Structure 1
Amino acid sequence: MVCRQRKCGCSKDDEYKHKSDPENLEENMKSGVLRKAKNVSSKFRSSLRNKIKRKNDTGICNIEDMHEIQDHKAVDAFRQALVMDSLLPTRFDDYHVMLRFLKARKFNINKAKIMWANMLEWRKNFGADTIMEDFNFKELNEVQQYYPHGYHGVDKDGRPVYIERLGMIDVDMLLQVTNVDRFVKYQVQEFEKSLAIRFPACSVAANKHIDTSTTILDVQGLNLMSLTGPVVEFIKVVQKVDNDNYPETLSRMFIINAGPGFRMIWNVVKPILDPETTSKIQVLGSNYQRKLLEVIDGSELPEFFGGCCTCAIEGGCLRSDKGPWKDQNLLKMTPTAEVHHVQTASISDNDGT
């Protein structure tokens, strides 16, 4: 920890010499002031550092939260526009939520406001606010048997990892145990769990704000013949719900085991996707393990993807929902409210602190 007298970057011995050498005192003071001014100016131009204090029964958790100055100003303007039109419920008065919608509309406030208003209307009609309590997806175990998927662990940045083995989907059997409407409700419930539980727990565990995830999409065996009507319908519906109401929650995606069949599909799909979305996606063949292990520790990666985790007690990795969100002590340290508007900001004196 650097004391107030040494914020200019001097060591303790240098500080003693400064105090004991009158001839150098004035010069060193000027140098220190100039360095400090330069550091503050540089930091102010690039970002604001917020410390969100979250009180709980065990103490206070401080989460470092960096805000880019340009983003901070845009969010402030967007927030004022929402307040003016009575479009800002307390639960959504959150810096990062508003920033995600701005990013989704290239920081066009009017377009972001329309998207935001549509989201609020959709939530009301769909029942998203209470779906975590109201909806019971009792067929989950059977669904996972015919469509393996789930959250499992975190990447090296602390983000939750979501896995889908799309190439192993059995559409006929899947439609015997559920239907598209119920599956979409289940997906919305999972989105809500990520916002309310997974992201906050990961933020506490990593000591920084986290609101995006890493996705691994295993497409081994997938080809044009696999994309039957129900599969395409499901993908379209879930994608629209995600894009319209939970924008900018994907950090990166790895599409693995991409053979010639999938690459034909990808060549058709890629041109119609947003360039910013495709920039987050890496399409990999069967030699994907090294790339995954660069961003996900082996202990967090399932054995079937080249890691060393099996979650044998839980019945397999994709049934375990392994992650910081399963730690009851961490959950106690997450905020009791679902979202928080960050109202205070301070400027760090040193770029590295």
Structure 2
Amino acid sequence: MFSCCRNSTSAIQTEKEGKTESLSRTNTSQANLVRRTSVYFDSAKDSSDIQECIPSDDDSEIFMDAVQDLKDMYPIITTSYIPPAPRRVSMLEPDSMLRATHLNEPDTILQAKPVQQRLRLPPVLEKRSSSRATRKAQRRPTAAAKQDLVNPHVVIQERGYPGQLSNDELAQAQKFYRAIHGDDAAVRDIVYSLNTVEEEPYAICRFLRATQFDADKIVQRLQDGLDLWKDASAANFYPDLSDAIGAPVPVFLQFYPYCYFGTAKNGCPVSYFKAGRFDVEGLLAMTTTDKTASYFWHSNMYSFRDLLQKTKESQPEFVRCEAINVIDLTGLSASQFSNDTMDALKIISKIGDYFPETMHCLIVLNAPTWFSMTWRIIQGFIDPRTAKKIQVFGSETKGRNRLFELVDESEVPTDFGGKAGSTDLTIRKLAFGNDWNKRRLAVDLMHVKRNGKSKTFEWTLNANEEMTQVQVFSRSVTPCSITLTQKGGAVVADQVAIERPHGNTTFTAAKEALPFVTTIPMANAPIRGPGTFTVEASDNKESSTVNKKLPSGFFLFVADIRQTE
């Protein structure tokens, strides 16, 4: 459900602002370097604990923190991104990957070392592989890899990043580097999956932060997940989403309203998700749980990477492959957390394992009071260190204030309290591309109960519009009948049967009832406006009994509406 819960391992932020500290530099011609810090929870409680903190003067805010008995060694940035002056890191010079405390020079956290001459940067690996990107990537000497880790060309003043490693961390990084250049190219493909926007030392450290620099553990995790990766890689990570999902992307986004919008103060792209409009029955009427995985593969390998590339073009020293995620729970009900929703969460979590440490933080807005119990369930599918980067607000005002600390109002969409455009418009542009202002959909998910009343849905065509196609998506094992009429006019389609092409095949499990689509034959198509139209769906009164565990009665009606010339 929450695709924006990117796998990550740092600590959750508190509402306190991270303090910034101006740092002196030996080269006065360079801009002042501001150390970016964070404030986060410290706790020795067990990882299964959930804290619900409700201030005595305001019970509208809910803070839930998944904590664990681990030192928060790799905190997240909470203040605005101020690009540091370049400091060369190279795997050819191992000491450049170390923190200054391990060098015979002043601490670079307090005094940045100017670049005298930028030497050769770590090469970007070519996109050639047995599965995706790195089959013919030549392994460089370990000393060369070490140099990039110790002395990266941009140093992020935080633990766990190139240029800020301890000797032990550097040793683990070198061990991991040797391991991923073994016989199985797929492991290397995973680590370098974002190689067009992420240089090698940053990728190595990003994966190691997920296991607190335990090379053996992260290698084992990657090897355990090779089958799923290879399947997605064989499909080139689903560049054609409509084909992969088995349904039009515009329809999919009606029930999964998720998009990237704007840039945060630290340079990270920001994603927004309106969870209250998420409808798993609507999604499963057109696709399967397994096929929804293609959307999340595509989002990580194409959408996310493209946004990072745009950021790097405007901020050449930006090296973070991270995003800030915002979820609005307005309208969310407990009934939406069904078994099908949990299955979707499991898939999202599995895919997130291939992109560790890509979630900078997650802000949850307008959380209902019952969400604390549901969060306990969701937390079971999320890496504990990821859960610590999630901040939940029940107060809309406080939640937005926190959002504005991270993202300037001019970059926040209007439906989240900002001054930019709306996410609805952005999703529409994503769905229809260049035709976004010429097309729209009339969509309704109708639940037709056995021997129950018929369901109706009404919509209007404007004078400059026409209805080109009407389709019904469903996975129901029971049929229904559809009648489409124009108000004050003729019947457009009469008693069209919506049923499986091969009848009611005997199913033993819900996942066996695959979705199907029926195109409604319309008299005198396309239908031109103006006019008001009504679709009526009714049970066909069949007497056959149906297993209650099988999907039944949900029919997704979609009318494609276009502007006329």
Same-fold status (TM-score > 0.5)? yes
Which protein shows a greater Rg? Answer: 2
Structure with more relative contact order (C-alpha pairs < 8 Å, separation 6 or more): 1
What amino acid does structure 2 have at the position aligned with 1:238? Answer: I
Aligned CA-pair RMSD = 3.6
Partner of 2:292: 183
The one of 181, 184, 187 aligned to 1:83: 181
Q: Deviations over 1:263-285 (max 9, x none)?
A: 23124544775442222110011
**Which residue identity lines up with residue 272 of structure 2 in the other structure?**
I
Equivalent residue pairs, number: 280
Tell me by how many angstroms 1:234 deviates: 0.9
Name which of 200, 204, 218 aligns with 1:112. 218
Indicate the larger mover: 64-73 or 250-259: 64-73
Work out which of the residue numbers 221, 224, 238 in structure 1 matches 2:331: 221
Show the counterpart of 1:69.
165
Q: Which residue of 1 aligns with 2:96?
A: none
Name the structure 2 match of 1:211: 321
1:250 has 2:250 as partner: no
Match of 1:298 among 381, 402, 409: 409
Say yes or no: does 1:280 pair with 2:386.
Answer: no
The answer to whether the 8 Å contact 1:222/1:262 transfers is no
Distance of 1:268 and 1:92 partners within structure 2? 30
Residues 311 and 317 in structure 1, CA contact (< 8 A), matched pair in contact too: yes
Distance 1:174 1:43 in 2: 51
Q: Secondary structure at the match of 2:221?
A: helix
Matched residue, 1:338? none
Stretch of structure 1 that moved more, 221-230 or 88-97? 88-97
How far does residue 95 in structure 1 lie from its aligned partner after superposition?
2.1
Q: Secondary structure of 1:214's match?
A: strand
Letter in 2 for 1:221: G
Does structure 1 retain, via aligned residues, the 8 Å contact 2:409–2:418?
yes
The structure-2 alpha-carbon separation of the partners of 1:115 and 1:271, relative to structure 1 and needing over 3 Å to count, comes to: closer
Task: State whether residues 128 and 188 of structure 1, in contact with CA within 8 Å, keep that contact through their aligned partners in structure 2.
Answer: no
Residue 265 of structure 1 aligns with which residue?
Answer: 374
Which is further off, 46-55 or 64-73? 46-55
Contact 1:309/1:317 (<8 A) preserved: no
**1:88-118 deviations in whole A, cap 9, x for unaligned?**
6478452222222212222211111112334
Calculate percent identity across the aligned residue pairs: 23
**AA of the residue aligned to 1:293:** F
Indicate the residue corresponding to 2:341 in structure 1. 231
Q: Which amino acid aligns with 2:414?
A: E
Alignment of 1:80-229 (within 5 A): 80-85=178-183, 87=185, 89=188, 92=191, 94-127=200-233, 130-133=236-239, 135=241, 136=243, 139-194=248-303, 196-207=305-316, 208-229=318-339
Aligned partners of 2:216 and 2:171: how far apart in 1? 15
Q: Distance in 1 between matches of 2:212 and 2:332?
A: 33
| Aligned residue number for residue 41 of structure 1 | 106
CA contact (8 A) 2:173 2:213 kept: no
Unaligned ranges ≥5, structure 2: 1-24, 30-102, 125-151, 157-161, 193-199, 431-565
Secondary structure of the equivalent of 1:130?
coil
For 2:381 and 2:289, how far apart are their aligned partners in 1? 24
| Residues 1:151 and 1:110: Cα distance change in structure 2 (over 3 Å) | same
Distance 1:210 1:132, change over 3 A: farther
The aligned amino acid for 1:301 is: V
The answer to whether the 8 Å contact 2:262/2:269 transfers is yes
Distance 2:387 2:122 in 1: 35
Q: Which runs of 5+ in 1 are unaligned?
A: 1-5, 11-37, 56-61, 322-353
Say if 1:49 and 1:65, in contact at 8 Å, map to a contact too.
Answer: no
- 1:230 counterpart letter in structure 2: D
Question: SS of the counterpart of 1:255?
Answer: strand
Task: Return the TM-score normalized by structure 2.
Answer: 0.44
- SS at 1:259 equivalent: coil
Flag the structure with higher strand content.
2
Q: Matched residues in 1 for 2:382 and 2:174: separation?
A: 29
User: Are the counterparts in 1 of residues 255 and 277 from structure 2 also a CA contact under 8 Å?
Assistant: yes
User: How far apart, in 2, do the equivalents of 1:96 and 1:278 lie?
Assistant: 22
Does the 8 Å contact 2:362/2:390 carry over to 1? yes
User: Which whole-Å CA distance do the structure 2 matches of 1:167 and 1:186 have between them?
Assistant: 19
Cα gap change, 1:306/1:130 in structure 2, threshold over 3 Å: closer, same or farther? same
Distance 1:303 1:79, change over 3 A: same
Q: CA deviation at 1:319?
A: 3.9
CA distance in 2, matches of 1:103, 1:211: 13
For the 8 Å contact 1:311–1:320, the answer to whether it is kept is no
Structure-2 change in CA distance of 1:76 and 1:53 (3 Å)? closer
Separation in 2 of the partners of 1:47 and 1:104? Answer: 27
**Alignment deviations for residues 237-267 of structure 1 (CA, whole Å, 9 cap, x no partner):** 1112212x11111110001110112223124
Q: 1:326 maps to which residue? A: none
- Per the normalisation by structure 1, the TM-score is 0.68
- Decide which structure has greater helix share: 1
